[in-house]
Structure 1
Amino acid sequence: MRAVFVFLPIFHMGQYFKPVNITKQEYVCPWCVGGGAKLWEWAVNPGGAIFVLLLRRSSQTGGGDYGGPATQVVELNAQQDLAEVIAKGILLEGQDLPLPPESMVGRWAGDEVYLVGDYDDSHHYQRADAFTNVSKPLVEAWNDFVELPDHQLRYEGCGCDGRRDN
């Protein structure tokens, strides 16, 4: 008789994770934002960066920030002083950033938020099925902010939205 060794974990599906906001009763579907749901997939895919937008907290903006001044190419003529042009740009730093309540930018800042697995004893993963899926407006806000084509997200309604969907 010949012994055969099998590494059993290859037969396991693994644990899925999704971002859940208990405070607002919202969630993000990993498949709707075009990613995978395993923890490793959240870590290495562009969709994992959504937390940057959701958790942002600041009442003001600046260069490289949401609502901040766009990158500019400045061509100086003989009458312009480089220091003066730079000074005008610096004045734009720290401007107020009023956001409407429905904005996805900073929407989850300060809330009870988890990247929760479906094996977790809290059952937040399963309870989130009754929450609002905010994946679509999140993808739209992300793509408005991150204009680089290689870093855009694509909303792919996966059919999970037989529930309340935003």
Structure 2
Amino acid sequence: MGQYFKPVNITKQEYICPWCIGGGAKLWEWAVNPGGAIFVLLLRRSSQTGGGDYGGPATQVVELTEQQDLAEIIAKGILREGQRLPLPPESVVGRWAGDEVYLVGDYDDSHHYQRADAFTNISKPLVEAWNAFVELPDHQLRYDGCGCDGRSLEP
């Protein structure tokens, strides 16, 4: 059998179900599968964005004509760096930054794993935000609502 783990936010009383996001729950499975990278979005903390960041400028293809100045085009792209990133309160991006958060096992004496069953499952909006951010097919998550929860946070 072994020990199962799930991310639990004590502060917000939320959790992520490893099976709902198409992964496994063993610590090793969290470590080697794309689902283990979800903390990148959940714990992100910045009020601004830039290239490669959530909400940052998309990759652009620039075709120059004879009349265009390359330096001017590059300068326009640089001006977009550091733009404010207003996120709606229901966004999962940075949602857990600064909170009491654990990847807790079901054998742990704290019983946070078991108590999380009464918390809100944010797996579905997390998968949606993740897949919008990480567009690589091999790194996409798959939402498989496993019926583990009675409460969920829908976008």
> TM-score, with normalisation over the residues of structure 2?
0.96
SS at match of 2:75: helix
Number of matched residues? Answer: 153
Aligned equivalent of 1:99, options 78, 82, 87: 87
CA distance in 1, matches of 2:48, 2:150: 38
Which structure's CA Rg is the greater one? Answer: 1
* Structure 2 SS opposite 1:84: helix
Distance of 2:143 and 2:15 partners within structure 1: 14
Q: Relative to structure 2, which stretch is displaced further, 139-148 or 30-39?
A: 139-148
Give 1:162 shift. 3.3
Q: Which runs of 5+ in 2 are unaligned?
A: none
Structure 1 portions without partners, runs of 5+: 1-12
Shift of 1:154: 0.7
SS at match of 1:67: coil
Question: Deviation per CA, 1:130-157, whole angstroms, max 9, x where unpaired?
Answer: 0000000100111111112221111001
Match of 1:150, SS state, is helix
Q: 2:118 aligns with which of 98, 122, 130?
A: 130
Q: CA RMSD in A?
A: 1.1
Question: Moved runs in structure 1, 4+ residues, more than 6 A?
Answer: none
Tell me, in whole angstroms, the C-alpha distance in 1 between the residues paired with 2:141 and 2:73: 35
Deviation at 1:59, TM superposition (A): 0.2
How far apart, in 2, do the equivalents of 1:83 and 1:15 lie? 56
Moved more, 76-85 or 48-57: 76-85
Secondary structure (helix, strand or coil) at the match of 1:162 reads: coil
Which moved further from structure 2: 142-151 or 123-132?
142-151
Identity %: 92
Q: String of CA shifts for 1:45-95, please: whole Å, max 9, x gaps.
A: 001111000000000000000110000111111111211111110000000
How far apart, CA to CA, are the structure 1 residues paired with 2:33 and 2:138? 12
Q: 2:137 aligned with 1:157, yes or no?
A: no
**CA offset digits 1:86-119 (Å, max 9, x no partner):** 1110000000001111000000000000000001
Q: d(CA) in 2 for partners of 1:94 and 1:136?
A: 29
Cα distance in structure 1, aligned partners of 2:12 and 2:149: 17
Q: Any idea what SS the aligned residue of 2:87 has?
A: coil
